Amino acid sequence: MNDITGLTLIETLKALEEKKFSSEELNKAYLERIEKINPRLNIFLEIKKNPQNMPAAIKDIICTQNIRTTAGSKILSNFVPPYSATVIDRLKEKGIGIIGKTNLDEFAMGSSGENSAYGPTKNPWNETKVPGGSSSGSAAAVAADLCTFALGTDTGGSIRQPASLCGVVGLKPSYGRVPRYGAIAMASSLDQIGPITKSVADARLVLEWISGPDGKDSNCVDPASCKVTPCAARGCLAGVRVGVPREYFGKGLDKGVEKVIREAIKKLEELGAEIVEVSLPHTEYAVAAYYIIMSSEVSSNMAKFDGIRFGSGREDFGPEVKRRIMLGTFALSTGYYDDYFAKAAEVRTLIKQDFEKAFEKCEVIVGPVSPTVAWNLGEKIEDPLTMYLSDVYTIPASLAGIPGLSVPCGFSDGLPVGLQILGKYLDEETILNIGEIYEQSTDWHNKKPDLGKEA
Ligand code: GLN
């Protein structure tokens, strides 16, 4: 492990303060590593040198002033935004700079990174595997130590799932916690920006930096305070009720993943938590409802890419984007609206109520992030339905607007597994605290992929 690039964000901030190294040395260490590793893994679409700043990697769907932002699409191959997203401005105020823009599934539509117009990113743990998606490059950049932390976006799982498949921490904040202004919209009622980090404490810090009301996003809520305080009592979960939804352990869940998740739950119990069984009965309808709602919003959001104001013409959309535009346009058309969109919206309410009911019995809900570990590149790309089903455990929380954290919790077949911790609306604090207590009592977060001698 490289001494500098192996550090977490908080460790790096401390080392800089103690003058163990300078920001120039910090950036040099990361850039040298990127030069060696990036050609193999195809993580960055753009690399920047800004030696004064803390090097962060930004998903290339988040607008960065004067830095090309492609959304992983050929359509925007020449798009250089004249402004930055609110989150980028907020990071800048904290002295954070952009070391690179990361690869992603086109317009964040996908679960494997393979829908990028710029070629797939490879999983740092095994270069024949997908890193997950759609924040494929951001998760891989953190796993391969090519940045101090990254930003991703999550509409149906795109922060949590790649974080899980790459063995790093990923937080999808509650809907409305982080301003979306400047993130190119996929499905506006679901999209959230969030951190992908090397530790839970880092995710808490980044969330604090980027969250809070913004005049440019009217959905952005104003919780009394956006501070997420770390809990005082370290290492003890006494009095915490952890809900385990029986629907998240059904068929389709890989046996190896299930074993790792069950062990993690046992660990929470050893730490003092009370484990309670809960039920989320409408889980089985979540993927279907999501594909109607999300595609409907996609079809509307993609209409602006008509070749007149932004980028090139519609023939440059990739197949997955076209598929969703067609699906969404159909679902919204006269005569079908009530059968599809209105019905899906009702299912969404039922899913939200499932969570509200379950949270009467517990403070957090835990389960797998993904039913499997990382799969082979090319394995599911011809089969969209199988690909869609890989988001079965992340989509419900997206529809309900509640926060979700992925924390490394072990390995199956030599590949990382993430534990998903879901919380009540706007209660990031509790999931981060429980995630951190779990993390600090296990060693999983210290495991790094072997990237060979040249790393
Ligand atoms: N994989 C899901 C999809 O393809 C989620 C994507 C996302 O969260 N951006 O829609």
| Tens of pLDDT, residues 380-397 | 999 988 899 899 999 999
Mean pLDDT of 295-311: 90
- Residue 1 above 50 pLDDT? no
Q: Which of 116, 134, 295, 390 is catalytic?
A: 134
Mean pLDDT of 317-325: 96
Main-chain dihedrals φ then ψ at residue 417, nearest 5 degrees: -125, 140
Q: State yes or no: is 111 an active-site residue.
A: no
Mean pLDDT of 312-322: 92
Q: State yes or no: is 23 an active-site residue.
A: no
Q: Give me ligand 1 centre to Cα 216, in Å.
A: 24
Lowest mean pLDDT among 101-110, 258-267, 277-286, 385-394: 385-394
Q: Which of 111, 175, 323 has most ligand 1 atoms within 8 Å of CB, for mutation?
A: 111
| Tens of pLDDT, residues 146-197 | 999 999 999 999 999 999 999 999 999 999 999 999 999 999 999 999 999 9
Cross-strand pairs, 170: 196, 406
pLDDT at residue 5 in the model: 97
Q: How confident is the model at residue 232 (pLDDT cuts 50, 70, 90)?
A: low
Q: State yes or no: is 199 an active-site residue.
A: no
Give the number of the atom of ligand 1 that is nearest the alpha carbon of residue 155: 8
Mean pLDDT of 87-111: 97
Distinct helix (H) and strand (E) counts, the chain: 13, 11
Give the number of the atom of ligand 1 that is nearest the alpha carbon of residue 290: 10
Q: How confident is the model at residue 310 (pLDDT cuts 50, 70, 90)?
A: confident
pLDDT at residue 239 in the model: 87
Q: How confident is the model at residue 68 (pLDDT cuts 50, 70, 90)?
A: very high
Mean pLDDT of 12-33: 96
Q: Are 175 and 400 in contact (CB under 8 A)?
A: no
d(CA 257, CA 144): 22
Other C-beta atoms closer than 10 Å to the C-beta of 234 total 11
DSSP string for residues in 187-214: STTT-EEEEEESSHHHHHHHHHHH-S-B
Lowest mean pLDDT among 30-44, 94-108, 122-136, 221-235: 221-235
Lowest mean pLDDT among 6-15, 26-35, 308-317, 379-388: 308-317
Mean pLDDT of 411-432: 96
Q: Give me ligand 1 centre to Cα 311, in Å.
A: 23
pLDDT at residue 227 in the model: 63
Average pLDDT over all residues of the chain? 94
- Residue 224 above 60 pLDDT? no
Q: Strand 149-154 and strand 54-59: pairing? A: parallel
d(CA 19, CA 28): 16
> Where do the domains of the chain lie?
2-446
d(CA 436, CA 430): 10
Class of the CATH domain delimited by 2-446: alpha beta
- Residue 226 above 80 pLDDT? no
Share of the chain above pLDDT 90, in %: 87
pLDDT at residue 233 in the model: 57
pLDDT at residue 235 in the model: 65
Q: For ligand 1, atom 5, name the residue with the nearest CA.
A: 156
Write out residues with Cβ below 6 Å of ligand 1: 108-111, 134, 154-158, 186, 294, 391
